[in-house]
Chain A
Amino acid sequence: MSELLTGLLQESISGIALGCIYALIALGFTLIYKATEVVNFAQGEVMMVGAYVNFFFVTQFSGMAGGLNGWVFLAALFCSIIFAVFFGIILDYIINRPLKDEPVFSIIMATISLAIILRSLTAMIAGPISLVPISPFGDSTIQAGGIVISVLDLAIIISAIILMGLFFFFFNNTRWGIAMKATSEDSEAAQLMGIPVKQVYRMVWVFAAIVGIISGVLLAPRMALLDTTMSYLGLKAFPAAILGGFGSIPGAVVGGVILGIIETVSMGTLSFHFAWIKEINDIIVWIVLIAVLMIRPDGLFGIAKVKRV
């Protein structure tokens, strides 16, 4: 039994790391949803683009520096974030501006088509061969009381916490953050109060792109191979966001972590002990999603919306 317990603990920590990535992706579309009521199905693809761009920069810089070291990774991260800023602005022009007042259906389909375009474009540019991602931490691990934690997981958790803290601070305490909140509440009223709504939208898309690209940078070393199937993980962040309550930032974080733990635990120890879990472990997030939507459609932290005619 203790073997089961340590297994569960070990996988929980790995699950928290995966959950943090889900949470970051979920944060990306929560940001966009809060401000513009657009649901961005392409967030997973933004993450994938981030992983590829970062890989490109790492190989370029390590070629220039003549080897891999910490500075190479930092410089690559910095360049990826600059790329993300431009990427976000482009996405705002393509998706948000022309489709501002269209019905939900068209917007969802537009973001899905964007997702398809990004995925196939990446595959076309990167070529047919899968890449092997480079981790800045190698395979180093920390031992703590019979539990082995990989440094990479720890780094993911820490950087996710820092990012989320930054966002929380930004939304609640800065001028632009409050402007974003006001815009999401009622964009017309915000416009009347002198908030530059268009700039707020652009900023939101930029932030979402930055979060997406950072989550890609963090996720890539966890993958065995870097290819375009990575973007399907972005779809799994939707259950996370819905579990927490769509449009709520703490909800996205909690939902992401819960789902990450559920997924890794069901894939690991539990599937060795219970045969039936093995059959369902890769769809467990979707079962959770449907269950949540049936029982409590507003999620854990969501507020029920009353629709007016």
Chain B
Amino acid sequence: MNPSKPEAAVEPIVLNSKIVSWYEASARQRVRLMLDAGSFQEFIGPEQREESPHLQVFDLPTQFDDGIIVGRGRMAGAPVFVAAQEGRFMGGAFGEVHGAKLTGLLRAAREVASLAVLILFDTGGVRLQEANAGELAIAEIMRAVMEARAAGVKVIGLIGGRAGCYGGGGLIAGCCSALAVSEQGRISVSGPEVIETNRGVEEFDSRDRALVWRTMGGKHRRLLGGAEAFVDDTVDSFRNIALNLISAVPGFGPDILKAEQARLEQRLQRFGMCADAVDIWKAEGVADTEAVPAMAAADFNDLANKAREPRYDAR
């Protein structure tokens, strides 16, 4: 295979990446627009046709790239490795090939050590039709993320797509050096419907959008400390925050895990008895909790920075 083959051309949308919605963009568009023009080189692109071998049994169609794009490009001149999940194919879920592409990228990153890795999450978790392979892929990715971080690699997670970052995806996100999330982004292990099925609609009404977003959405994650940054739903915002986080995040070491243990213990002490997100926000000094969901990013970030300064040394 020819590794220097140019990337496949992708449909153009609005050329100005400032106003392109991250949520509306496809994975290919996100990668194309985040990186410096013409700099992206895909590894095992769609023309290689490495599709899932497991979907035919279920009479399900495959996608040529199995729903994830991995490769290398430049951001503001600096080389980076990038992986982007397509949330609209099988819910962005991890299958055997899909997961292996990310595993391979991270193992390479560990060896190279000087390039950051951006993971553009857009996933419901494990692909059920390949559940065991998907689960294992996630386990291997978690290991590979930590080995890369131990080699000095910054692994930055960006979350703002249709599928959110659910299930095993949420665990991989928790292994990243830092996370940025938008209004549309959600991070959770169990999905809303599963919680409702397990605990009843009184505890969690999965159709109550406001509740779902208060519990799992980008703003709550930022206020809780589950993500370092909250950004606008634009490609440009994600690009800028990725650049910021790459330089803000320190190298990995045992102090980071100790600090995280303390951070997570403290969170349980402070908020372990809170019934709802608004109780947590109130406890953090947010006066008008009802205004939070509708706040635009700039105003929200002013409020969030007062409630909780982001820290980069405890993930």
Q: Do A and B come from one complex?
A: no
Q: Enumerate chain B interface residues (CB-CB to A < 8 A).
A: none
Q: Enumerate chain A interface residues (CB-CB to B < 8 A).
A: none
